[in-house]
């Protein structure tokens, strides 16, 4: 029994890392997409912003696919409940991601309707970031579940104040990631406009993060003695404080790392509030799907752990290689 519990905890941590990797990496390119009309003053500047994410955005989404696959294999009951119960919401996320992806290609090859495709990129990026946060908020805050591990609510059950707070806080963090990435990858007037966006979004993130942590501490009393929660708070505000000074000094690299540290703090707090639940039940803790009652068997967890120990370093190494290959400033005529 103790052995399988160790593997259940291990897979909770591994899935957390995969989803965190997705949030950080796809977060900045969704942020750039959502901020496109606010940062780009003309077509050349917008081309530069899109070129800055062009070589990496599709690779970033591999982390989400891998995280979803790991959830399916390690915790199939939670996967089934989430993807069936949140079906309409998941379809909206999928459509947002599809429109975000095709809009970049269509914008370049359909100049007559470039404005329409830019709007699709902005809307798809912002909607996906918001809905991912709302989904995370629901599985942590709790949704009504039956004794058969089935979702018992409706679509609008997902749009309660606390989950919406998660969505707003996540969207604010994604926008800050995008502006910080633009600072690192651009020059001239476009970079100056990106610095201005970082300064504004930094204060928005201070407010949303403060409300987020207060609501978490009030809603989940068990966090009062959780060391990870306090680490998360320190990490978030340390990143935002560092960002304040980096933006004042016009440092074009540090802001991205500092916004990432802040994002990690928000995500770490969510993980601390979630464990050991995978989907909390709002109608009673006995109905909650945890890592213990919704996992697959020990043998599967063991085999998958071996595969993960081989595969994850390869994915991380490939990601580092790609980002090193495309490091430096981006120009409008860069192709990908």
Which residue in 272, 231, 235 sits closest to 257, CA to CA?
A: 235
Q: What is the pLDDT of residue 213?
A: 95
Task: For residue 276, say if its preceding peptide bond is cis, omega within 30 degrees of 0.
Answer: yes
Q: What is the pLDDT of residue 334?
A: 61
Could you tell me which residues come within 8 angstroms of residue 72 by beta carbon, excluding any fewer than 6 positions away? 79
pLDDT in tens, 193-204: 999 999 999 999
Measured CA distances, 336 to 150, 163, 184 (Å)? 44, 37, 18
Measured CA distances, 308 to 13, 26, 73, 78, 334 (Å)? 12, 21, 12, 20, 35
d(Cα 22, Cα 55) in Å, to the nearest integer?
A: 16
d(Cα 171, Cα 330) in Å, to the nearest integer?
A: 25
Q: What is the pLDDT of residue 192?
A: 92
pLDDT in tens, 245-260: 999 888 888 999 999 9
Q: Phi-psi category of 328—alpha, beta or left, where left has phi over 0 and alpha has psi -120 to 50?
A: left
**pTM exceeding 0.85:** yes
């Amino acid at each position: 029994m103790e052995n399988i519990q160790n593997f259940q905890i291990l897979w909770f941590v591994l899935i957390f890392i995969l989803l965190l990797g997705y949030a950080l990496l796809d977060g900045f390119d969704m942020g750039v997409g959502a901020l496109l009309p606010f940062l780009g003053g003309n077509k050349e500047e917008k081309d530069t912003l899109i070129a800055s994410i062009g070589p990496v955005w599709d690779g970033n989404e591999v982390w989400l696919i891998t995280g979803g696959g790991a959830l399916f294999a390690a915790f199939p009951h939670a996967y089934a409940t989430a993807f069936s119960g949140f079906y309409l919401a998941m379809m909206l996320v999928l459509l947002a991601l599809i429109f975000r992806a095709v809009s970049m290609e269509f914008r370049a090859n359909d100049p007559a309707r470039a404005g329409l495709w830019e709007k699709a990129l902005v809307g798809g990026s912002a909607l996906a970031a918001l809905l991912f946060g709302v989904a995370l908020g629901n599985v942590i805050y709790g949704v009504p579940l039956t004794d058969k591990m089935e979702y018992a609510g409706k679509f609008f059950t997902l749009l309660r104040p606390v989950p919406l707070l998660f969505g707003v806080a996540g969207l604010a963090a994604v926008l800050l990631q995008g502006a910080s990435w633009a600072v690192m990858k651009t020059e001239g007037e476009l970079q100056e406009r990106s610095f201005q966006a970082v300064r504004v979004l930094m204060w928005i993130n201070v407010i949303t993060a403060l409300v987020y942590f207060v609501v978490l501490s009030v809603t989940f009393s068990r966090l009062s003695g959780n060391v990870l929660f306090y680490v998360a708070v320190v990490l978030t505000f340390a990143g935002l404080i560092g960002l304040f000074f980096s933006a004042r000094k016009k440092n074009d690299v540090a802001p991205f790392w500092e916004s990432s540290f802040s994002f990690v703090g928000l995500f770490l707090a969510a993980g601390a509030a979630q464990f050991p639940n995978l989907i909390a039940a709002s109608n009673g803790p006995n109905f909650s799907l945890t890592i213990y009652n919704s996992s697959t068997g020990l043998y599967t967890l063991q085999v998958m752990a071996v595969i993960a120990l081989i595969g994850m370093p390869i994915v991380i190494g490939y990601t580092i290689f790609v980002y090193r290959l495309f490091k430096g400033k981006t120009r409008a005529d860069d192709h990908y």
